[in-house]
Structure 1
Amino acid sequence: MISSTFFTGLLLASSASARPAKRGTGEIKCPVVLSGFVPADMTPTDFDSYATSPFNPDYIRGTEKFSEILQFPEIEASRFDNASTRAVEVTINDKSIFQKQNGFRRAGLQIQGDTNENSPGTQGVKTLHFSVKQDAERTLNLTHEYLNVWHESADYSANQFNFQSGTIIGKSGSDKDSFKVLNRQNTQVWSTPIDATAWQNFAITLDFVKKNDNSGGGQYQIGILKKPTGTSDVVNSGYQETGIEEGQIYGGIFLEDSADGCVSL
């Protein structure tokens, strides 16, 4: 298992500010602000209802419901999952067009409670945890640029950070086979090779008080946004091949309060 921890903003040391909760090989030491843990007994249709899904059932997706585009692979637990929770796979296909964004193929998860305005996830110091795993049957086409996890400002004008894979448009020499973190200015600040078989674990700490420019509120996006090629207008046009069947497996998704330097490991 590969574990990678990186931070945009203040580099923080871990400390115990809440009762530790053992989950898998990891231990949650800090108060959980937003939980994206998927209960092991959830059924696909549970993701289509506000009453039963840990995520917003309406965003982000095309015309297909989440029960049609999410998969539940039978694999080993990620770092912060245990017997009571499970991994979930976000998939995209030719129909994965959100609203009128015809250039993108997109599907993603937004944790319930993560509102666009005055979200608890945009106050103080917060750390987003997530683990990713590749699906050998639904591989990403890394000649394209992908956004996998990011935080988008409330007015949609900027992303405080992007966790990406594939070929970054306009950045010659970028390694398509790596995960990359780009800051608000779209400058790459960190990368690590994509492991084709193992879980990879990540934590991103955002300081909304002192470090960097994390202004603008907004929401965390977790899933797949596949950009087209051959255009400068990536939202509305460009080339996307037909017959798309791609996926990204996620586990152990949660946002914790990192006040006083608390980060779970």
Structure 2
Amino acid sequence: MQIPFLLSTASLLTRAVAGSCAPTFEGRIPPNATSALFSSAESPFNPKYVLGKNISWDQVISFPDVQPSILDAVAQTKPIEIKITDASIFSSSSEGPETALRRAELLVNNRPSTVSGTKTWFLSLRTSPARPLNYTHEYLLAFHEAADYQADFWSLKTGVPMTGSYGEIIGFRNASVEGGVQNWMGEGRVLYLQGYKWASPVQTFFLTPFYPDTWHNFGIYLDFNSNHLQVLYSTDNNPLHLVTPLLPNNLSGKAPTTLGETHFGIQKKPVGANLTNFLYEGEQELGVREGLLMGGISQIEGFPMGCNFSFVQIRSKAID
């Protein structure tokens, strides 16, 4: 597993094109919002999905008493906590209860404009002190799912991969995590962004320790026209900066073939050997009581270069 050194900003920016900076999705939560918002027609997300049977979003969402991430602070919005329990078993209309998964995911659907053209997603993640994750499992925390539900074009994960392998690590990591990251990988206490689900081998474009009680901020640039992505990252109140070059990744080409839906939340996969269908095979321990803090979910048109955002820093010198 070879991880190359970081390039200069000039190289990192190769082929990424500045956009209009216009907002294309706003998922940041107003300071006066209650959990009832997420079950209402006013929610920026689907008020019914993706949840366990007979569970509503007001039972899943709470508002943690923490300082907001840099992505919420600039908008004077507030973070949320998403929780899963033993009852977080989604039942699809076509396949029935997904008994081996535990999931609660905010769903951005029926918005083709968010999964076509050139876009940048922003989001922040933080561990929950009261509801720790079990890192022996693989978790999907954000991902773009194809319209036919058969593939993920990109996915932000934590925990030990269900296959036991992080795949081919080809991206460029933040220089601050060079030392000791292998230990964090062994325990699954890392955040990693992977590409197209059916790539062989699976490709990991960015990987960093999932430090507890720390905001991890992401910008994910997606060029659906040329099938490329690029990652920006920072912690706490530090501005986002580039941590990968522009990387090729199957985003399924131009609209309308791309489309599909983007998810934010917790999907906890099972553990076990030789799993052929993780929806129904594998083990979940009893007494699940886990959570994840999220905030700053929003999207803009194009790449944030030239947008004059205080939370983005496009460096003008080599990253060291």
Cα contact 2:139–2:158 (8 A) shared by 1: yes
2:88 equivalent in structure 1: 96
1:145 equivalent in structure 2: 138
Cα contact 1:10–1:206 (8 A) shared by 2: no
Q: Which amino acid aligns with 1:208?
A: F
Distance 1:124 1:14, change over 3 A: closer
Cα RMSD (Å) of the superposition? Answer: 2.2
Separation in 1, partners of 2:165, 2:69: 33
Q: How does 1:1-265 map to 2 (within 5 A)?
A: 17=20, 30-50=21-41, 52-62=42-52, 63-82=54-73, 84-99=76-91, 100-111=97-108, 114-115=109-110, 119-172=112-165, 174-175=185-186, 176-184=188-196, 185=199, 186-211=202-227, 212-215=249-252, 216-230=258-272, 231-258=275-302, 264=309, 265=312
Q: Size of the alignment, in residue pairs?
A: 240
Cα contact 2:60–2:84 (8 A) shared by 1: yes
> Quick check: which one's helix share is greater?
2
Q: What's the CA shift for 1:237? A: 2.3
Cα contact 1:10–1:205 (8 A) shared by 2: no
Q: Which amino acid aligns with 2:50?
A: I
Q: What's the CA shift for 1:77? A: 1.3
In structure 1, the gaps of 5 or more residues are 1-8, 18-29
Separation in 2, partners of 1:137, 1:11: 42
Cα contact 1:47–1:55 (8 A) shared by 2: yes
Cα contact 2:19–2:303 (8 A) shared by 1: no
Q: Which amino acid aligns with 2:218?
A: F
Separation in 1, partners of 2:117, 2:205: 22
Distance 1:262 1:103, change over 3 A: farther
**Secondary structure in structure 1 of the residue aligned to 2:161:** coil
Q: Which has the larger radius of gyration?
A: 2
Separation in 2, partners of 1:250, 1:221: 12
**Secondary structure in structure 2 of the residue aligned to 1:47:** helix
Cα contact 2:120–2:304 (8 A) shared by 1: no
**Secondary structure in structure 2 of the residue aligned to 1:38:** coil
**Secondary structure in structure 1 of the residue aligned to 2:70:** coil
Q: What's the CA shift for 1:45? A: 1.6
Separation in 2, partners of 1:161, 1:260: 19
Distance 1:163 1:79, change over 3 A: same
Separation in 2, partners of 1:179, 1:245: 20
2:240 equivalent in structure 1: none
What's the TM-score, normalizing by structure 2?
A: 0.70
Cα contact 2:69–2:296 (8 A) shared by 1: yes
Separation in 2, partners of 1:124, 1:76: 34
Residues 1-51 of structure 1 show CA distances to partners (whole Å, capped at 9, x for unaligned) of xxxxxxxx986668584xxxxxxxxxxxx211011111111112221111x
Distance 1:207 1:246, change over 3 A: same
Question: Which range moves more in the overlay, 170-179 or 224-233?
Answer: 170-179
Q: What's the CA shift for 1:172? A: 4.0
Q: Which amino acid aligns with 2:295?
A: G
Separation in 2, partners of 1:12, 1:257: 16
Cα contact 1:103–1:235 (8 A) shared by 2: yes
Separation in 2, partners of 1:138, 1:130: 20
In structure 2, the gaps of 5 or more residues are 1-11, 92-96, 167-184, 228-248, 253-257, 313-320
Structure 1 vs Structure 2: percent identity of aligned residues? 33
What's the TM-score, normalizing by structure 1?
A: 0.84
Cα contact 1:147–1:162 (8 A) shared by 2: yes
Q: What's the CA shift for 1:59? A: 0.8
**Secondary structure in structure 2 of the residue aligned to 1:197:** coil
